[in-house]
Structure 1
């Protein structure tokens, strides 16, 4: 095999001309398109990074909002418990007060009825006492007229001394 220097020289010259033509007309546009593509990719990467950061910030905000909502819910639950406990205490106190009032009314009613019964008994006992005394005095007076006169004089003496 023989090396043909002329062919190598012509190939090199052709390659040089081709390189010069490509450099003048094609490489500039090709590199510009590649640069635009690189900038577009970098822009999209930066945009994706910003979107991811915004998403992380949004997730943190949502976590904080959820945490705050849970705290508010717990506060509402605690307040409801306290309110229901207070209502239960109030109802219990009201029931105790009503029971005490009813007991006091019952005691007053019982005392009033007892007083009425005692007064009725006194009246009846007084009537029976007067009736018995009348019957005893009648017997005494009927059996002893002299004694009757003594009693009348004594009674008149007592009535006269009181006036």
Structure 2
């Protein structure tokens, strides 16, 4: 059969020996390429694929960490705002409390000063009344001594009383 094929190939102008030789050379070249070229190229491509997969997973992990940090920072910011609001509220309450304390202290001081002034007025009044009593007593004694010194008639008695009244009026 080989002879028939060779004969047919020769008749048709096909050279089967060249075809077989080229086929064997192609297979040898394919084996050499797969051993020396495809292996390293496929290895490099596998390394590149692994590297890209690692970069993608690493990027996804960093993205997750960044999202987690963003959430944590957001929570911290919310807490800081709450604390700031609480501080402002406490400061307002403290200010109101101090305001009330200052007002209360001022009222107490005003009441104390008022009470002191009233006591001072009462003391001055008591002293004035005492002084007036002393003057009235001394004038009464003076009047009595003058009445005793001379016996007066009605006109002299009236004149004496008027003089003493004028004297007491000037003494005030």
TM-score between the two structures when normalised by the length of structure 1: 0.76
Deviation at 1:89, TM superposition (A): 1.1
Q: What is the CA RMSD across the aligned residues, in angstroms? A: 2.2
1:118–1:5 distance in 2 versus 1, CA, 3 Å: farther
Counterpart of 2:164 in structure 1 is none
Asked if 1:17 corresponds to 2:28, the answer is yes
Counterpart of 2:76 in structure 1 is 65
1:69–1:6 distance in 2 versus 1, CA, 3 Å: farther
Rounded Cα–Cα distance in structure 2 between residues aligned with 1:106 and 1:4: 146
Counterpart of 2:125 in structure 1 is 114
- Structure 1 unmatched ranges of 5 or more: 144-163
Counterpart of 1:135 in structure 2 is 146
Structure 2 SS opposite 1:124: helix
- Structure 2 unmatched ranges of 5 or more: 1-11, 154-172
Q: Which stretch has the larger CA shift, 6-15 or 35-44?
A: 6-15
Deviation at 1:111, TM superposition (A): 0.3
2:54 to 43, 53, 62: 43
Deviation at 1:16, TM superposition (A): 3.3
1:85–1:64 distance in 2 versus 1, CA, 3 Å: same
1:38–1:108 distance in 2 versus 1, CA, 3 Å: same
Counterpart of 1:88 in structure 2 is 99
Deviation at 1:28, TM superposition (A): 1.7
> How many pairs are equivalent?
140
5 Å-filtered alignment, 1:24-39, equals 24-39=35-50
Q: Which stretch has the larger CA shift, 20-29 or 104-113?
A: 20-29
